């Protein structure tokens, strides 16, 4: 493909580029595990629901507000993608033939209980809650 064609078809915004990068990342993870896009998204949403349930354990009204908040879901997805990019994918390619190990690591990296104990994640969560 020529450079001219690439420039012409380049995303027009930063958000468009992030969406392309996130889609590429989703495809990489699916390829490593042999998952469909649906399975990936179902897994991600199940973890999202567990996290929201824990964060709002005694506050059902707040749970409803953040569970269906596009701002909070966007935050969660961005955090998920950041962990894939910085923690999971670099390690996964080093151990790509050990599916058991990379699966275990993937589940640990995205575990909702781990996030609840991650000071940096919880700090960013607090910032997002001020926005909602």
- Profile the chain (132 residues) by mean pLDDT over runs of 10 residues: 53 84 93 94 96 92 90 95 95 89 96 96 92 83
- pLDDT given at position 1: 46
Q: At what angle do helices 14-33 and 70-83 cross, to 10 degrees?
A: 60
Task: For Cα atoms 75, 68, 45, give the angle at the middle one, nearest 5 degrees.
Answer: 65
Letter string b/e over residues 32-59, b meaning 16 or more CB atoms within 10 A of that residue's CB = bbeeeeeeeeebbeebbeebbeebbeee
* pTM (predicted TM-score): 0.84
Tokens of residue 116, six digits = 């609840």
> Residue 7 has what pLDDT?
55
Torsion of CA 96, 97, 98, 102, to 10 degrees: 20
pLDDT of the residue at 89? 95
> How much is the pLDDT for 57?
87
**Residue labelled with tokens 């926005």:** 131
The predicted pLDDT at position 83 comes to 96
- Residue 57, SS3? coil
Q: Which of 15, 84, 16 lies closest to 44 in space, CA to CA?
A: 84
């Amino acid at each position: 493909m020529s450079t001219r064609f690439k420039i012409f078809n380049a995303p027009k915004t930063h958000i468009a580029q992030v969406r392309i990068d996130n889609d590429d990342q989703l495809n990489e993870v699916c390829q490593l595990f042999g998952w469909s896009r649906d399975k990936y998204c179902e897994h991600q949403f199940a973890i999202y629901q567990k996290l929201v349930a824990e964060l709002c354990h005694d506050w059902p009204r707040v749970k409803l507000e953040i569970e269906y908040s596009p701002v909070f879901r966007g935050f969660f997805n961005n955090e998920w993608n950041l962990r894939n990019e910085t923690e999971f994918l670099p390690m996964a390619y080093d151990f790509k033939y050990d599916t058991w190990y990379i699966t275990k690591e993937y589940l640990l990296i995205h575990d909702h209980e781990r996030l609840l104990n991650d000071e940096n994640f919880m700090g960013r969560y607090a910032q997002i809650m001020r926005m909602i």
